Structure 1
């Protein structure tokens, strides 16, 4: 029986980080006993991430104990290392964290044991010695991994492995249900606060677009740290409201509320990739809202075969947004690229299970 050691760390205030890690937790649990390192994650983050996991699961808050278990089961030929999905920055901290994992990968190869698996990952370059060193170590780790499936087009170009897409595409509505966005009456907006933004101008553009298309604007808090910006924007857009995330509301409850709203939304405008992905999986039409220097939304949706409009923060205007929305609305049913994305993930899932079970 395989002992699956899943490195599962995410941002505790982020619903998207739960969604993609839940998919990989479910896959891992199909292959054996699962050992999940989640650090200091909150109770509801853990519960939501492991909500669909059946069978034997052990959650670790100590990385040292998790590593000792992985080392022991690797010596026995039963340990399988599953890398953390999501974005990984190539920096010195990444290099330091990879050294013990590389040692275990080398030990597994020497002992003829189970392989390491890396799925739903994108690698983001930084600058300096840390970036170069961590990239070198990642390449060594990739060579010793049985499955490497990248979630964005940029990583696919730079590293060997399988071009794939984000694990979050596996959740949500069935494809046959994703076809009625034109009948919906909500414009959902989810914006991050750590990018330059002229609030009054953006509010005016959003308000004008919503009025022209007879849509109700709802500012969505899918990441807790976005709440203040959502409230400020709502005050500037007449008749809008906020889907907030109160402290007493857990991850599972908030995700359900966000998904329910997206199922009523014609468009979702966002610079957060998992707002756009969750929107697509709930039948809404995604419109990226990004700076010229930020390619994340474009590279992740493109990896799933989804050509989509991107509204520029620097040059935003209502006419452009209307053109982008028209382009998106005329795109063939979003259920088609979603079906293709899920078919790709099904192939990766099969390879993952085959490798993990040995």
Structure 2
């Protein structure tokens, strides 16, 4: 059973109370906000964790990152994490705040790698930017456009998160590139379409972490190039041993941004190797979790 909303909490607690022995509780991966408004939620999650352990079950917390930590929400969350058999963090800072568990690659790296079917020539530079950010400035536009021209790449903008569709259209117009809309396409079909697009790309520029991860899994070189980038993408790739993937566009001119993108293009083999190591690490983690569940239920 998958429960997602606050209205599901009573049903969730009732299911745990009435569940047979040795149930399994798996939390979602991603960011965990621990500001003052989340202390009641964390108290509920702590109670659920205690209940599962009393029933001889297994609690799994996939790679997560702590955000906006405050007391007592952090203390409650850390207690629950310590009581869980698996507490994984996608960055060292979160692991230190919780003072337990281990650092592991973001769960996005567990997605299937690019298959070995015949691939088209990598002759595209793909851009996918957040719609909530300001439109990139003239220097950014010049850097991306000139990089594509020098490298002989066609420019295409794609949409991995539906709310970014208008921005993708706007950026394509500014860059003189091709816009690939989401439209009415089913999300599963859209992911398959994106994978095909990333297989055609040599370089993918984005400020969305999972755009860059999916691109890297499909053999493209990822690069974060936006004004004042957050540390989320930098940290996620540093955890797998890939450094220098981000550049603050606000602190660089067009030539500096172009040099950064050119340097990224030379890192293809390194990134493919690191991404595969990360994927194998997550396969090992999953195997360990499945073994623990089997033993608990034996």
Same-fold call, TM cutoff 0.5: yes
Give aligned pairs, total: 292
Residue correspondence of structure 1 range 1-358 to structure 2 within 5 A: 35-39=1-5, 62-73=8-19, 76-109=20-53, 111-125=54-68, 131-159=70-98, 160-174=100-114, 184-238=122-176, 240-246=177-183, 248-292=184-228, 294-331=230-267, 332-357=269-294, 358=296
Q: Deviations over 1:120-151 (max 9, x none)?
A: 2111125xxxx222111111111110001112
Q: Which residues of structure 1 form unaligned runs of 5+?
A: 1-34, 41-60
Counterparts of 1:157 and 1:189 in 2: how far apart (Å)? 34
Contact in 1 for aligned 2:114/2:219 (Cα 8 Å): no
Alpha-carbon distance, 1:291 to partner: 4.1
8 Å contact kept, 1:289–1:310? yes
Aligned position for 1:25: none
**Whole-Å separation in 2 of the counterparts to 1:122 and 1:315:** 27
- Distance (Å, rounded) in 2 between the aligned partners of 1:135 and 1:89: 9
Kept after mapping to 2: 8 A contact 1:83/1:117: yes
Distance 1:84 1:254 in 2: 22
Deviation at 1:188, TM superposition (A): 0.6
| Structure 2 spans left out of the alignment, 5+ residues | none
**Over residues 19-51 of structure 1, what are the superposed CA-to-partner deviations in whole Å (9 max), with x where a residue is unaligned?**
xxxxxxxxxxxxxxxx212459xxxxxxxxxxx
Distance 2:229 2:157 in 1: 24
1:197 deviates by 4.3
**For 2:87, what is the secondary structure of its paired residue?**
strand
Change (3 A) 1:170 1:107: closer
Distance 1:325 1:198 in 2: 16
> In 2, are the aligned partners of 1:192 and 1:272 still within 8 Å (CA)?
yes
CA distance in 1, matches of 2:264, 2:223: 8
2-structure distance, mates of 1:184, 1:135: 45
Contact conserved, 1:173 with 1:281, CA < 8 A, in 2?
A: yes
Over 3 Å counting, the alpha-carbon distance change for 1:235 and 1:327 in structure 2 is closer
Q: Give 3-state SS (helix, strand or coil) of 2:71's partner.
A: helix
Q: Distance in 2 between matches of 1:153 and 1:288?
A: 21
SS of structure 2 residue aligned to 1:193 = coil
**3-state SS, counterpart of residue 37 of structure 1:** coil
State whether residues 140 and 257 of structure 2, in contact with CA within 8 Å, keep that contact through their aligned partners in structure 1: no
